[in-house]
């Protein structure tokens, strides 16, 4: 926040797998489990790491915990958004989790932001960058805050850039029903 970089971890969910029990010497115990991944889990793109942290309450244990790293891929809806941006000629430049202002917070204090630059297509030479802040509402619904940063031209463009007048912020929602026309929907919101 305020362009200050902070590294932090956040517990998205805590799950108790069993009630307390005892394990006898040489006894092996396996506890199968599953859980639904919270929609706020960031994708493991860029420098993001996500893990399942397991812990045991073992008296006099040196390290009763374990951290298992997992790969988090986009679901069909977010994948459609990211592919559509790529098809419009953009390439991901930077992906990070951003602390959200209080007015945008729902379940967690952060959201994942994708920063793209135009490398081909109609926006090459017209835009400096395109940022998408993804706010998951449900597994089949995303709120997107899109910041479009136009390329400055001439003296007026320099003043506009200095005052951030070359940026446009658009907030819109996409659902699974938008997947077939996602590229058009994103394109319509850019200009």
- pLDDT classification of 181: cutoffs 50, 70, 90: very high
Which tops the pLDDT comparison, 82 or 53? Answer: 82
Mean pLDDT value of segment 91-111? 85
Q: Confirm whether 59 is domain-assigned.
A: no
Number of domains in the chain: 1
Q: Confirm whether 128 is domain-assigned.
A: yes
Q: Confirm whether 60 is domain-assigned.
A: no
Q: Confirm whether 42 is domain-assigned.
A: no
- Please report the sign of the dihedral spanned by the C-alpha atoms of residue 105, residue 115, residue 128, residue 191: negative
Give the pLDDT confidence score for residue 38 in this predicted structure.
84
Is it the case that residue 1 has pLDDT exceeding 50? no
Q: Confirm whether 142 is domain-assigned.
A: yes
Range of the domain at 140: 76-190
What is the Rg, in whole angstroms, of the alpha carbon atoms belonging to the chain?
A: 21
Strands 65-70 and 50-55: antiparallel
The answer to whether 64 and 56 are in contact (CB under 8 A) is yes
Give the pLDDT confidence score for residue 103 in this predicted structure.
77
The answer to whether 74 and 95 are in contact (CB under 8 A) is no
Look up residue 103 and give its two tokens.
């007015």
Task: Please list, residue by residue across 49-79, b when 16 or more beta carbons sit within 10 angstroms of its beta carbon and e when fewer do.
Answer: eeeeeeeeeeeeeeeeeeeeeeeeeebebbe
Q: Confirm whether 26 is domain-assigned.
A: no
Average pLDDT, the chain: 84
Distances (CA, A) of 187 to 52, 95, 128, 130, 191: 37, 21, 16, 11, 7
Residue 100 makes CB contacts below 8 A (sequence gap 6+) with: 109, 110, 111
Give the pLDDT confidence score for residue 166 in this predicted structure.
67
Q: Confirm whether 12 is domain-assigned.
A: no
For 2-56, the pLDDT digits (tens) are: 566 667 777 778 888 888 888 888 998 888 888 888 888 888 876 678 878 777 7
Mean pLDDT value of segment 149-175? 70
Give the pLDDT confidence score for residue 163 in this predicted structure.
56
The answer to whether 178 and 185 are in contact (CB under 8 A) is yes
Whole-model pTM over 0.85:
no
Q: Confirm whether 125 is domain-assigned.
A: yes
């Amino acid at each position: 926040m305020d362009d200050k970089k902070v590294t932090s971890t956040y517990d998205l969910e805590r799950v108790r797998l069993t009630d307390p029990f005892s394990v006898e010497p040489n006894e092996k115990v396996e506890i199968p489990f599953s859980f639904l991944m919270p929609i706020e889990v960031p994708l493991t793109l860029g420098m993001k790491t996500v893990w399942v942290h397991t812990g045991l309450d073992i008296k006099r244990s040196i390290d009763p915990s374990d951290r298992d790293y997992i790969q988090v891929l986009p679901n069909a809806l977010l994948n459609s958004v990211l592919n559509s941006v790529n098809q419009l000629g953009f390439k991901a430049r930077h992906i990070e989790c951003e602390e959200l202002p209080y007015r945008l917070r729902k379940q967690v204090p952060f959201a994942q932001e994708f920063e793209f630059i135009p490398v081909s297509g109609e926006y090459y030479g017209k835009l400096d960058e395109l940022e998408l802040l993804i706010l998951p509402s449900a597994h089949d619904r995303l709120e997107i805050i899109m910041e479009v940063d136009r390329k400055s031209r001439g003296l007026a463009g320099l003043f506009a850039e200095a005052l951030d007048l070359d940026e446009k912020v658009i907030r819109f929602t996409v659902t699974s029903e938008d997947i077939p026309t996602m590229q058009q929907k994103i394109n319509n919101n850019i200009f």
